[in-house]
A and B are shown apart, each in its own frame.
Chain A
Amino acid sequence: MDLLPQLTQYAFSGLSTGAIYALIGLGFAIIYNSTGIINFAQGEFVMLGGVLTHFFLMVLKFPLVVSMAVAILVATAIGVAFERLTIRPLKRPTPLSMVIITIGGSIFIRGVAMLIWGKDTHSLPPFSGNEPLVIAGATVMPQHLWIFGLTLLVIAANKYFFYYTISGKAMRACSYNRTAASLVGIDVRRMVFLSFAISSAMGAMAGIIIAPLTMTAYDVGVMLGLKGFCAAIIGGMSSGFGTVLGGLLLGLLESLGAGLISSGYKDAIAFIILLLILFIRPQGLFSKAQTERV
């Protein structure tokens, strides 16, 4: 059997999965960059996006676009409430305690979602048809193109926000040095608040756009969250191309590993890469200096 068409298919499959990881990874990076927290509840916002859209679409019978918008709004509200109720009341926030809080929060959100929406897996209709597209002998779904498109859009929006708006610049300042930022009059708490709002909205958006492909249930956030985290680590927690490249690389290696070696090692590959990066290049594959993070 010809290896070339197989390889192209592996590559396309890997890149499209990788784009999903990248989109989720960006959410991690944004919070990390403005607060220094790894928000392990990020995966739950991905879940909330998908599950809420399904709820509004199928149960309340809203049109698709309205359901998506409302789902993003609700997920953002939950993200903001999460920050208000758990992160902000901390007297002396240390990174460790904040990480533990986000883990606890993620378990809580998952449990509540299970109680409200049950344990069933649901599917969303694809945005534009179910007919696979053939590109260079490999097939992708139209939904994959949506994912690529959204990822690009999010990067562009991020770039603009962090480099050309006052709030974005203020958030970057917080990530470099919180004390200094507050000394020059930046309201650090407001920036933390804002970063949670942005990243939960983005997580929800990712959750919605991948749901037609991967389906959604109360517990999808765990694995997707971890993979997104891997992507962000490979990319050195940058909120731009680094994380995206990290995600694509991860997806590609997983797919090639599953295709050429054995599918049993698929998840192992992701986590071995994660460990190697953490041991050898904790600043990420693509960043040069420790300080340049945004």
Chain B
Amino acid sequence: MKRFVFSCSLFVLILTCSALCGASQPIKIGALFSVTGPPSFLGEPERNAAQMVADSINKSGGIKGRQVQLISYDTGGDATKAVQLANRLIKDDKVVAIIGPSTTGETMAVMPVVEKAGVPLISCAAGRKITEPVNRWVFKTAQNDNLAVAKIYEYLQKKKLNRVALLTVSDGFGSSGREQLKAQAATHGISVLYDETYGPKDTDMTAQLTKIRGTQAQALICWGTNPGPAVVARNAKQLGLKMPLFMSHGVSSKKFIELAGDAAEGVMLPSGKVIVADVLPDSDPQKKWLMAFVKEYQKLHKVEGDHFGGHAWDAMMLLKGALEKGDDLPATIAANLEKSRAFHGIGGSFTYTPVDHAGLAKDAFVLVEVKNRDWVLVK
């Protein structure tokens, strides 16, 4: 009993000490990522990258002499949980800003919460609905789908290929891409001859591809995340499909090349610049940060940094920029985020304005092609 009382008082002592001893309070930043659950391929690198930025800020003396404390929670890809955790970050942890969540669905669910509390949110999800219409408190760093679609269509226009077949995955990512592909076709003078879907867990797409082979399409655009597109590439090779195959930025990682193997050769896709960082011209303003990000991430986590980690990296750096411009009141941060100009991050060059909280232009994407199991830039 005596020992118990002793350890209790010691514990209380430590608590009070740690609360009082800090000369200046750290800046608390909240993070919501789906580190587990289906979107974990987004959440895990995002959390790692956010923590990496926080650590490096602290190592170099913090922001205006104050340390940064990243409080990060795992949403498991669940919108309900994301809302609960956002409330916890705002009410209990009293964070000044939140980065994440990883997916569009979760972001949409969290938006009313941050709006009511008046806390800025920098989402790492791609959906256009997040920033259109503009919400004073909500920003995002992931590139819009429509920019990726435009990149493919511009290339097709240049090559005078104007009949395409679409094969999209039947989930949120695929249907959003499909919407954009169909909406932008007319303005680029492209006709969609075939528009089919496949299930996210399908293991054979030869039926759809056989049908496509029988159409007059000159190019096939497949919109999905791994492993579906790898199956499509393999099946296309099996069937001897001659038309060029385009994928989305959803598979722009080495994993796709690994899964599709030889069938990946010649596949083209719009991608953020991070996977081709080393072959970018030195004049590219993003190159310096890209190389630094890829190397540092690899040093810490044994794999190359990817886009998804890049979204969180951008969010942290934009937040840092805003915090350096003024105090750490949420309203000031939101106002200063809108003053971010030409920040050359991982996902692109960000310029937030009061009417644009996505901040990216078409130059955020480059078109890449798989050659000899690696990415090359398509000129």
Chain A residue nearest to B239 (CB atoms) is A139
Known: A13-B210, A215-B230, A259-B210. A123 touches B199 (CB 8 A): no
- The answer to whether A220 and B207 touch across the interface, beta carbons within 8 angstroms, is no
- Closest-CB distance, B336 to chain A (whole angstroms): 37
Chain B residue nearest to A140 (CB atoms) is B238
Q: Residue A78 at the B interface, CB < 8 A?
A: no
B-facing residues in A187-235 (Cβ within 8 Å): 210, 213-215, 217, 219-220, 222-224
Q: Residue A130 at the B interface, CB < 8 A?
A: yes
Q: Which residues of B contact A258 (CB under 8 A)?
A: 207-208
Chain A positions 231 through 272: 1 when the CB is less than 8 Å from some CB of chain B, otherwise 0: 000000000000000000000001110110011101100000
Q: Residue A141 at the B interface, CB < 8 A?
A: yes
A-facing residues in B294-337 (Cβ within 8 Å): none
Q: Which residues of B contact A61 (CB under 8 A)?
A: none
Chain A interface mostly helix, strand, loop or mixed? helix
Q: Residue A53 at the B interface, CB < 8 A?
A: no
- The answer to whether B211 and A6 touch across the interface, beta carbons within 8 angstroms, is yes
Taken together as a complex, chains A and B put the C-alpha atoms of A122 and B215 apart, in Å, by: 32
Q: Which residues of A contact B210 (CB under 8 A)?
A: 6, 9-10, 13, 259
Q: Residue A88 at the B interface, CB < 8 A?
A: no
Q: Residue B204 at the A interface, CB < 8 A?
A: yes
- The answer to whether B206 and A13 touch across the interface, beta carbons within 8 angstroms, is yes
Contact of B207 among A13, A119, A120, A140 (CB under 8 A): A13
Chain B residue nearest to A214 (CB atoms) is B203
Q: Which residues of B contact A267 (CB under 8 A)?
A: 199
Contact of A121 among B206, B226, B239, B262 (CB under 8 A): B226
Known: A1-B215, A132-B240, A259-B210. A217 touches B203 (CB 8 A): no
Contact of A213 among B40, B197, B203 (CB under 8 A): B203
- The answer to whether B261 and A130 touch across the interface, beta carbons within 8 angstroms, is yes
Q: Which residues of A contact B203 (CB under 8 A)?
A: 17, 20, 210, 213-215, 220, 224
- Closest-CB distance, A228 to chain B (whole angstroms): 13
Q: Residue B57 at the A interface, CB < 8 A?
A: no
Q: Which residues of B contact A119 (CB under 8 A)?
A: 40-41
- The answer to whether B196 and A262 touch across the interface, beta carbons within 8 angstroms, is yes
- The answer to whether A123 and B259 touch across the interface, beta carbons within 8 angstroms, is yes
- The answer to whether A266 and B199 touch across the interface, beta carbons within 8 angstroms, is yes
Chain B positions 171 through 211: 1 when the CB is less than 8 Å from some CB of chain A, otherwise 0: 00000000000000000000000001111011111111011
Contact of B238 among A141, A217, A220 (CB under 8 A): A141
- Closest-CB distance, A32 to chain B (whole angstroms): 24
Chain A residue nearest to B227 (CB atoms) is A121
Q: Which residues of A contact B258 (CB under 8 A)?
A: 123
Q: Which residues of A contact B207 (CB under 8 A)?
A: 9-10, 13-14, 254-256, 258-259, 263, 266
Q: Residue B242 at the A interface, CB < 8 A?
A: no
Q: How large is the interface on B (under 10, 10 to 19, 20 to 34, 35 or more residues)?
A: 35 or more
Taken together as a complex, chains A and B put the C-alpha atoms of A267 and B263 apart, in Å, by: 26
Taken together as a complex, chains A and B put the C-alpha atoms of A210 and B196 apart, in Å, by: 25
A-facing residues in B232-266 (Cβ within 8 Å): 234, 237-240, 255, 258-259, 261-263
Q: Residue B58 at the A interface, CB < 8 A?
A: no
- The answer to whether A217 and B204 touch across the interface, beta carbons within 8 angstroms, is no
- The answer to whether A263 and B255 touch across the interface, beta carbons within 8 angstroms, is no
Q: Which residues of B contact A264 (CB under 8 A)?
A: 170, 196-197
Taken together as a complex, chains A and B put the C-alpha atoms of A214 and B203 apart, in Å, by: 5
Q: Residue B231 at the A interface, CB < 8 A?
A: yes
- The answer to whether A9 and B239 touch across the interface, beta carbons within 8 angstroms, is yes
- Closest-CB distance, B44 to chain A (whole angstroms): 8
Q: Which residues of B contact A224 (CB under 8 A)?
A: 203
Known: A13-B204, A132-B240. A259 touches B259 (CB 8 A): no
Q: Which residues of A contact B198 (CB under 8 A)?
A: 263, 266
Chain B residue nearest to A264 (CB atoms) is B197
Contact of B227 among A1, A16, A215, A263 (CB under 8 A): A215
Q: Which residues of A contact B259 (CB under 8 A)?
A: 121-123, 215
* 8 A-B contact pairs sorted by A residue (CB < 8 Å): A6-B214, A13-B204, A13-B207, A20-B203, A121-B255, A130-B263, A259-B207, A263-B197
Given contacts A121-B227, A139-B238, A213-B203, 18 further A-B contacts (CB under 8 A): A6-B211, A6-B214, A9-B207, A13-B206, A16-B204, A20-B203, A121-B255, A210-B203, A214-B204, A215-B230, A215-B259, A217-B227, A220-B201, A255-B207, A258-B207, A262-B196, A263-B196, A266-B199
Which 10 A-B residue pairings sit nearest by Cβ, starting from the closest?
A214-B203, A258-B207, A1-B214, A13-B206, A259-B207, A121-B227, A9-B210, A132-B238, A223-B201, A263-B196
